[in-house]
């Protein structure tokens, strides 16, 4: 575990300096968030994985309660209710829920299917997924809803369930896609359309993506320097500290800075793969649960990195997914560190 903490520390450090170059007030807040996330990590390690695993059902339903509560007392920002204002900090239940969602499903899906009907287990697991997915989708938060969908598909794939259920899910997604398309907010549909045709509305829906690409390009090889990024510091680039924090970082520290960040992520993923391979070859149920949690966390971690960096360089539509350890925000940081603390 000490090996994985070191690259995580350096990623947090790069994220802090990136924010320092954009807005020193944000950097100060992020410093406290970093302290909180490491405190959460060591607290969970102290409590013990076994205790939280044994109470995974409780943590699942508690998190569902917070997701529902968000609709009633959530703080509305730009048309979305994703945060509960606890005065000193904003609490994003959809982020904090991720480790408990993975842990709960990992424990539920590993069972002896010779004694239980696999279809019944699959339908129940589908319900356990759809409940948070729909709650997050309706906030609306398309990015995090996508994270839950991807993690669920990975867990089903590596569980003992017949693989035909993956085919059923894929078929169902194709059938109901038009329904979800109509349920999306207008700006969400416009973002997807502008991705396929950036010239459609360069001053409107395609503006963020266009500015992100310009910001990345302006960093060149070595970057403009700390605090000298004109695109991000002068706010030509919207959401320069959250969705497009990677673009801001590349502008300040250049292609090499961006490459260092990607290298650190690859090293973390390498360490995760080494851990989960240890559990993969075991036939014991407890080891299989540990494997399923590990691959569930790794899929969520990789998905967020891949999609966020992809949308920063114009490879994916803008979805509002945080980049682990780099994007500003306490909920995402704490959720990721709690997830790591729960790794077996």
CB 137 within 8 A of CB 117: no
Percent of the chain exceeding pLDDT 90 equals: 53
Tell me how far apart the alpha carbons of residues 268 and 154 are, in angstroms, rounded to a whole number: 19
Q: Is 83 helix (H, G, I), strand (E, B) or coil?
A: strand
Q: In this predicted structure, which of 182-191, 260-269, 324-333 has the lowest mean pLDDT?
A: 182-191
CB 129 within 8 A of CB 144: no
Q: What is the pLDDT of residue 196?
A: 56
CB 11 within 8 A of CB 324: yes
pLDDT of 194 higher than 70:
no
Percent of the chain exceeding pLDDT 70 equals: 91
Give the residue among 179, 181, 301, 251 at the shortest CA–CA distance from 18: 251
pLDDT of 183 higher than 90:
no
Where does residue 255 rank: exposed (0-12), middle (13-18), buried (19+ CB within 10 A)?
middle
What tens digit of pLDDT does each residue of 59-95 get? 999 999 999 999 888 887 766 788 888 877 788 999 9
Tell me how far apart the alpha carbons of residues 44 and 337 are, in angstroms, rounded to a whole number: 9
Average pLDDT of the chain, as a whole number: 87
Domain count, the chain: 1
CB 248 within 8 A of CB 18: yes
**The whole model's pTM is what?**
0.90
Q: What is the pLDDT of residue 324?
A: 95
* Number of neighbours of residue 171 by Cβ within 10 angstroms: 10
What tens digit of pLDDT does each residue of 89-145 get? 788 999 999 999 999 999 999 876 655 668 888 999 999 999 999 999 888 888 899
Provide the residue range defining the domain that includes 23. Answer: 2-341
Residue environment code for 71-83, b if the CB has 16+ CB neighbours within 10 A, otherwise e: eeebeeeeeebbb
Q: In this predicted structure, which of 78-87, 213-222, 322-331 has the lowest mean pLDDT?
A: 78-87
List C-alpha distances in Å: 97 to 94, 108, 334, 338.
5, 16, 11, 10
Tell me how far apart the alpha carbons of residues 44 and 186 are, in angstroms, rounded to a whole number: 40
Give the residue among 318, 311, 303, 292 at the shortest CA–CA distance from 147: 303
Q: What is the pLDDT of residue 53?
A: 94
Give DSSP secondary structure letters for 147-170.
HHHHHHHHHHHHSSS-THHHHHHH
Q: Report which of residues 281 and 44 the model is more confident about.
A: 44
Phi, psi of 85 (to 5 degrees): -85, 110
Q: What is the pLDDT of residue 148?
A: 96
Give the residue among 205, 239, 191 at the shortest CA–CA distance from 19: 239
Q: What is the pLDDT of residue 334?
A: 95
């Amino acid at each position: 575990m000490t090996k994985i903490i070191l690259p995580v520390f350096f990623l947090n450090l790069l994220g802090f300096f990136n924010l320092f170059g954009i807005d020193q007030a944000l950097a100060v807040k992020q410093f406290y968030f970093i302290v909180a996330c490491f405190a959460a990590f060591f607290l969970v390690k102290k409590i013990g994985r076994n205790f939280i695993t044994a109470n995974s059902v409780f943590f699942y339903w508690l998190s569902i309660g917070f997701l529902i509560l968000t609709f009633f007392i959530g703080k509305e920002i730009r048309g979305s209710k994703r945060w509960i204002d606890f005065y000193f900090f904003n609490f994003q239940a959809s982020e904090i829920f991720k480790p408990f969602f993975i842990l709960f499903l990992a424990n539920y899906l590993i069972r002896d299917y010779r004694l239980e009907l696999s279809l019944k287990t699959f339908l129940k697991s589908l319900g356990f997924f759809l409940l948070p997915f729909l709650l997050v989708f309706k906030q609306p938060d398309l990015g995090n809803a996508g994270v839950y969908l991807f993690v669920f598909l990975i867990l089903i794939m590596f569980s003992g369930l017949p693989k035909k259920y993956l085919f059923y899910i894929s078929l169902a997604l194709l059938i109901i896609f038009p329904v979800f398309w109509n349920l999306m907010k207008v700006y969400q549909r416009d973002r997807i359309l502008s991705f396929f045709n950036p010239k459609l509305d360069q001053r409107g829906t395609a503006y963020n993506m266009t500015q992100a690409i310009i910001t990345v390009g302006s960093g060149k090889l070595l970057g403009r320097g700390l605090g000298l990024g004109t695109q991000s510091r002068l706010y030509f680039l919207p959401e320069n500290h959250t969705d497009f924090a990677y673009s801001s970082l590349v502008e300040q520290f250049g292609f090499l800075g961006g490459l260092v960040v990607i290298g650190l992520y690859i090293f973390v993923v390498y360490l995760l793969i080494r851990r989960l391979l240890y559990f993969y070859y075991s036939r014991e149920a407890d080891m299989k649960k540990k494997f399923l949690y590990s691959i569930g966390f790794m899929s969520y971690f990789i998905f967020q990195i891949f999609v966020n960096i992809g949308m920063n360089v114009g490879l994916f539509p803008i979805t509002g997914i945080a980049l682990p350890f780099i994007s500003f925000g306490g909920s995402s940081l704490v959720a990721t560190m709690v997830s790591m603390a729960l790794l077996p």
